[in-house]
Structure 1
C-alpha cells in the first residue's frame, strides 16, 4: 500500500523527532544541546546507564552507539508502539493534524505517472543547459558572466537558457516519446486558448532548476532578459510534483552545509543564493517567489534551529521581516528561533558581495539580531511615549505580541526582554 507522492516528506517536515522520542526517554541535559536539536539519553531499546542514544532533530534521525538502533520518527513509533509502518504513519499524522490520504487502486498509477513527470523535468534541465552553451544562449551566458557568476557556479546550479522560439522544448519532448498531457502536467508547456496549440511556458529566459529534498527537479524559475517583460521572474505553476509553499531553492546543498557547521541564510531570490554560495556562504536558501510560508519555516527549522533571514535594507525588506515575525510567533518554541540581518539600504546580498566583498556580508551575518529586537523596533519606531496613555498603549501592543507565543517558557523570556 503506497502513499501519495510527497506525503511522507510533508509528515516529516511537521515532526520534531526529539518531541516524539522525549515521551520515552529521560534526556541527559548536561550532554544535550537543545538549541541545536542535539539530544542524548539512555537508550530505550536496551538497558544502560550512560547516554549513548543520540537524536539529531536537524536530520530527523536517531542512533544508539551502544546497540546500533537507528531510524526516524516513523521507525521509532514502529519499534516502541509495536505497530506496522502505516499504523505508525497514522499515529504521527494524527498528532500533527495531517489527514491521512484515502488509499485507492490508482496509487501505483499515480506513482508511475509522477516518475514520467520527473523524467520530463530532467530532460528539460538538460535541454536548457545545452541551449545556454549554444549560439542561442550566448547573450544569456554573457549576462551571467557580467553578473559575476563563474563557470563553476553556472555548472553547480545547473543554470540554463530557454530559447525564444515558442515550441522548441515541447517538440524536443514530443520527439523523445512523452505524451502531450504529461508535458502539460509538468507545467513546461501550455495549451493556447485560442488555437489549441501547445507552446513552451518558458521562452527567452535564464532557467534555474528547483529541486526537492530528495534532489529531484520539480520546477523551474525563469528570469527574463527583456527589460520590458511583464514579469522579470516566472516560476512553474503548481503541479503534482511542485507545491510552491512547501519547497526552498538550494535546499539539498544548504542542508549539507549546515551539517558542516555553516549558518542557514535565507535570501530573497535565486541570484542572491548563487552569489552567497559563490562567496562561500554555502548554507543559502530562498523561498520561491512568494513570502515565506509556514511550511517553509518549519522546513527551515528542521535544517537549523536558528536561520538567519537576510533582507534588503529598504521599507519592503522590513515589511517582509515583520510579516515573517507575525507568522512565526505562534510557532516558536524553545530551541527554534530566527535572527535577522538587514542589508544596507538599496543593497541586496548579491550587490553587497559583488561590490563590497564577502567579508562585508559576513560582518552583517555575524551581527544578525534576534527577533525580539525587531519586535521592539516595530512597536516604537516613529512613535512618542510621552504620556501615560501612550505608554499603556505600548504595554498592550507588546502584551498582544507575547500572547501569540504558545511555548510558556519562551513566553516568559519574551516578557522579561520586552518589559
Structure 2
C-alpha cells in the first residue's frame, strides 16, 4: 500500500488546476476554474475546479472528487497508479510498501456516498424554501455564502424521502446508506430506513486527508440534541478525528502551534478571520487519541474553551491529555460572555492574537481557579 503520509504529501503538493488543465480547457472564474465536463462531454462550462479545496465537480452529471479520482476516471487507472502519476507531476517519489491490500480501498464506497450527500445538502441550503431557517441562522451568525461554501455547509431536508430518493436514483443501495451513518434501520421488520439528519444545518466532517467521513447536524429550533453527529462507522470515529485538521495541518506546522476550541463554528469563524491553525474535537474535551494526533504537528497548544464550569472541566481534561503527550499547554481566557466565535467577530484576528499573548500555563490556570475558590487560603 501507499502510506497515508505519502498520499497526503502528494495531495498537498499537487497543482490540481494544472493537472486537470492538461485534459480540460479551464478558465478562471472568481476563485475557481471552469471548463466543459470531460465525463459527459459537455459543451458549457459546468465543470468546476476549486484549488483551495483541491477538488473538482460537474454541476450537470455530478461527477466530483480529488485529483486522484479525476485521473482514475479520465485515464482508467487504479488508485495507486493515479497517486504515482500525480506524484511524478509534483516531483514526489511514491513507493508502495509490501502490506498493500489487493483491490480498491473498502472504505471508498462510504467516502463516495458521503461526498454525494454533502453536494445534495449544499444545494438544498441555498435552493430549498424549507432551508430558510438554516439560511437565517447563518445570517444571524454572520456566516457569509462564501464561508458557508468553503466549509461545504448544507441543509438536511425535513422530508424523510428526499435524500433516500436522490441517492437511490444515483445507484446507491440501502445497505450503503445505513453503513455510512446517513440512515438508520429501525428494528421493526420490514420498516423503511429513515434519515439520521432531518431539518438540521449540516456541517460535513473530513479526515486529515480531506475525505468526507461524517457529519454534524445543528438543530434550528428548540429541539434536542443541539448537535447530532454521525454514529461510529468504518470511516468515522468521533474520538479519533479533529474537525478542521484537514485545512489546518499546514498552518499548524507553519505557526508552530495549534488552537483548540470547542465547536464547529468556533473553527469556521476563526478560519474565516484568517486564523488557520485551529481545530475542534468532536466532543467537548480532547481524547488521548486526538492529543496524540496533534503531537505529530506541533508541541504547542492553546486551549480556548468557555469559562463556565463545563468549559473549565474540558480545559483541564484536554490539558492533561496534551501534557501526557509532552506538549506545552497554555490557556486563553476571554472576557466574560465571549467565546472564540463571538470574540473574533467583534475584535478580528488581531484581537485574538492579543489574547493569545496573554495566555497562561495550564498549571497556573488551575492554581488560579483553586485560589479564587478559596482552596489555597
For residues 270 and 131 of structure 1, the distance between their equivalents in structure 2, rounded to whole angstroms, comes to 20
For residues 281 and 258 of structure 1, the distance between their equivalents in structure 2, rounded to whole angstroms, comes to 10
Does residue 201 (structure 1) correspond to residue 192 (structure 2)? The answer is no
Q: Is the 8 A contact 1:208 1:222 kept in 2?
A: yes
1:92-171 aligned within 5 A = 108=102, 111-135=104-128, 136-171=130-165
Q: Is the 8 A contact 2:152 2:203 kept in 1?
A: yes
State the shift of 1:221 in Å.
0.5
**SS state at 2:247 partner:** helix
**Number of residues paired by the alignment?**
290
**SS state at 1:241 partner:** coil
Q: Is the 8 A contact 1:262 1:282 kept in 2?
A: no
Q: Is the 8 A contact 2:295 2:325 kept in 1?
A: no
Does residue 374 (structure 1) correspond to residue 369 (structure 2)? The answer is no
Does residue 308 (structure 1) correspond to residue 299 (structure 2)? The answer is no
Q: Relative to 1, partners in 2 of residues 1:143 and 1:330: Cα closer, same or farther, differing over 3 Å?
A: closer
Residue 211 of structure 1: aligned partner: 206
**SS state at 1:359 partner:** helix
Q: Which has the higher contact order (CA 8 A, sep 6+)?
A: 1
For residues 256 and 325 of structure 2, the distance between their equivalents in structure 1, rounded to whole angstroms, comes to 24
State the shift of 1:354 in Å.
2.3
State the shift of 1:380 in Å.
4.1
For residues 277 and 138 of structure 2, the distance between their equivalents in structure 1, rounded to whole angstroms, comes to 22
For residues 254 and 324 of structure 2, the distance between their equivalents in structure 1, rounded to whole angstroms, comes to 30
Farther off after superposition, 163-172 or 368-377 = 368-377
For residues 288 and 337 of structure 2, the distance between their equivalents in structure 1, rounded to whole angstroms, comes to 28
* TM-score between the two structures when normalised by the length of structure 1: 0.63
Residue 42 of structure 1: aligned partner: none
Q: Deviations over 1:277-336 (max 9, x none)?
A: 12211111100134210111111122221021111122222111121233334332xxx3
For residues 258 and 376 of structure 2, the distance between their equivalents in structure 1, rounded to whole angstroms, comes to 37
Q: Deviations over 1:115-147 (max 9, x none)?
A: 111110110110001111113323312220221
Farther off after superposition, 135-144 or 153-162 = 135-144
Farther off after superposition, 341-350 or 237-246 = 341-350
Q: Relative to 1, partners in 2 of residues 1:349 and 1:384: Cα closer, same or farther, differing over 3 Å?
A: closer
State the shift of 1:381 in Å.
4.2
State the shift of 1:206 in Å.
0.7
Q: Relative to 1, partners in 2 of residues 1:293 and 1:385: Cα closer, same or farther, differing over 3 Å?
A: closer
* Off by >6 Å, runs of 4+ in structure 1: none
**SS state at 1:285 partner:** strand
Residue 338 of structure 1: aligned partner: 329
For residues 141 and 202 of structure 2, the distance between their equivalents in structure 1, rounded to whole angstroms, comes to 15
For residues 319 and 265 of structure 2, the distance between their equivalents in structure 1, rounded to whole angstroms, comes to 24
Q: Is the 8 A contact 2:307 2:333 kept in 1?
A: yes
* TM-score between the two structures when normalised by the length of structure 2: 0.70
State the shift of 1:157 in Å.
0.5
Gap regions ≥5 residues in structure 1: 13-69, 76-83, 90-102, 387-419
The alignment yields a C-alpha RMSD, in angstroms, of 2.7
